Chain A
Amino acid sequence: EVQLVESGGDLVQPGGSLRLSCAASGFTFSNYWMNWVRQTPGKGLEWVANINPEGSDNYCPDSVKGRFTISRDNAKNTLYLQMNNLRAEDTAIYFCARFGVVAATDYWGQGTLVTVSS
C-alpha cells in the first residue's frame, strides 16, 4: 500500500525557517517524480515544488522561488521541503504527493500544518 507521511509542520515566526519531511513507503520511491502542494485554510490548492526521480532537477513557482528548496534522499525514501524567510502568506497545510500518472498526482499524504505568525 502506498503511504506518504508528512512531518515537521510547526508554528514559526515571520522570517524563520522550517524543514518538512515526507516518508514514503509501499512503492519504489526512486522511480517517481514527487511534489509538494499547499492549501491555505479554507482556500484552494497551490503547487509549491516538484523534483525528478534522481533529485537532479526541481521546479517551483515564483511565489516561493529563492525561499523554498525541494530535495530527496532516495536511500531513505524521504522527500524534503526546506522553507526559509517564511511569510504569513505561507501559512497552509503542506501535502506531499506522488506523480504516478502523466502530469497528475495519484497519491497524497494527509498533510502537515505550517503556521507563520508572531
Chain B
Amino acid sequence: QSALTQPPSASGSPGQSVTISCTGTSSDIGGYNYVSWYQQHPGKAPRLMIYEVTKRPSGVPDRFSGSKSGNTASLTVSGLQAEDEADYYCSSYVGVNNYVFGTGTKVTVL
C-alpha cells in the first residue's frame, strides 16, 4: 500500500486560510469515509484533528475542517494562528483493518 500524496509545504499569513490536499485511490480514500488528519509539532506526538472525513474531536478548534471528493481529501485551517505552524498528516482506512498515512505537509505561518 503506497503512502497517500500530500504537498510538501503550504503557507499562509495570520488570519488567512490554508487548504492541504491528500490524494489516494479508490482503494483507500475513495473507497471509505474513514479519513483522519493529524497535527504534529516538532518533537511531539501527533494529535488527532479530524476523523471520519469531517468530524472534530472535542477540544479541536472549529477553525479546522475536513472534506472529501472522490479520491482526494482536504484539510482547511481557517483564521491561521501562529500555533497552527506544524506538520500535518492525513490517514485513510484501506480495508481489512489496514491503514495508510500521507506523506505529510509542513504548514508555515508567514
Spell out A's residues near B (CB within 8 Å).
Answer: 35, 37, 43-47, 50, 57, 59, 61-62, 95, 101-106, 108-111
Known contacts A59-B96, A61-B1; decide if A105 and B48 are in contact (CB<8 Å). yes
Q: Is the CB of B104 within 8 A of A45?
A: yes
A-B pairs, 9 with minimum CB distance = A104-B51, A103-B34, A104-B36, A108-B45, A59-B97, A45-B101, A47-B99, A44-B104, A103-B93
Q: Is B79 interfacial (CB-CB < 8 Å)?
A: no
Q: A111–B99 Cα gap in the complex (Å)?
A: 19
- The docked-state distance in angstroms from the alpha carbon of A109 to that of B1 is 25
Q: How many residues does chain B have at the interface if contact means C-beta atoms less than 8 Å apart? A: 27
**Which residues in B have their C-beta under 8 angstroms from that of A101?**
48, 51-52, 55, 57
Chain B residue contacts of A57, Cβ below 8 A: 97
Specify which chain B residues have a CB less than 8 angstroms from the CB of A35 in the assembled complex: 99
Asked if A44 and B101 make an inter-chain contact with CB atoms under 8 angstroms apart, the answer reads yes
In the bound complex, do residue A103 and residue B99 qualify as a contact, i.e. CB atoms below 8 Å apart? Answer: yes
A93 nearest in chain B by CB position: B45
Contact of B100 with A47 in the complex, beta carbons under 8 Å: yes
Q: Is the interface of A mostly helix, strand, loop or mixed?
A: strand
A86 to chain B, nearest CB (A): 21
- Given A45-B89, A59-B98, A95-B45, A103–B51 Cβ distance below 8 Å? yes
Evaluate whether A110 and B45 lie within 8 angstroms (CB atoms) in the complex, with A44-B3, A59-B98 already known.
Answer: yes
B69 → chain A, closest Cβ, in Å?
Answer: 19
**Residue interface mask B77-110, A partner, CB < 8 A = 1:** 0000000000001010100111111111000000
Residues of A within 8 A of B46 (CB): 37, 45, 95, 105, 108
Q: Which of A43, A104, A109 contacts B45 (CB 8 A)?
A: A109
B93 CB to nearest A CB, Å: 5
**C-alpha gap A45/B40 in the complex (Å):** 10
CB-CB under 8 A for A106 and B101, given A59-B96, A101-B48, A111-B45: no
Contacts of A102 in B (CB 8 A): 34, 51-52
Nearest B residue to A106 via CB reads B48
- The contact sample of 14 A-B pairs, CB cut-off 8 A, is A37-B101, A43-B104, A44-B102, A45-B101, A46-B3, A50-B97, A50-B99, A59-B97, A59-B98, A101-B52, A102-B34, A103-B34, A104-B48, A106-B48
